[in-house]
Amino acid sequence: MENEHIIRNTQSSDSKELIKLMNEVAGETDYLSFEKGAIKIPVEVESKYIQDTLNKDNCLIVPKGPILYAR
């Protein structure tokens, strides 16, 4: 199926792609408080944030396709 999507929790190993996505999205709109390339979060810090989020009962970070979207 061409447009098949799998919903799963983000994993800490997705950190690099999530940072890349945030920087790309920032260049596509004027409605964010940061610009393209402004996210300079180290992968290790983002990995810890993801892991901390996953340890909470009321939080979810959902990837979409090969690139991630956080919610």
Query: Higher model confidence: residue 61 or residue 21?
Result: 21
Task: Give the pLDDT band of residue 59 (cuts 50, 70, 90).
Answer: confident
What average pLDDT score do residues 66-70 get? 47
Q: Running DSSP on this structure, what letter comes out for residue 46?
A: H
Look at residue 45 in the predicted model and tell me its pLDDT.
94
pLDDT in tens, 7-58: 777 888 889 988 888 888 888 888 878 888 888 999 999 999 889 988 888 8
Token couple for 11: 């994993």
CA distance 30 to 14: 26
Which pTM does this prediction carry?
0.67
Burial tier of 37 (Cβ tally within 10 Å: 0-12, 13-18, 19+): exposed
Look at residue 47 in the predicted model and tell me its pLDDT.
93
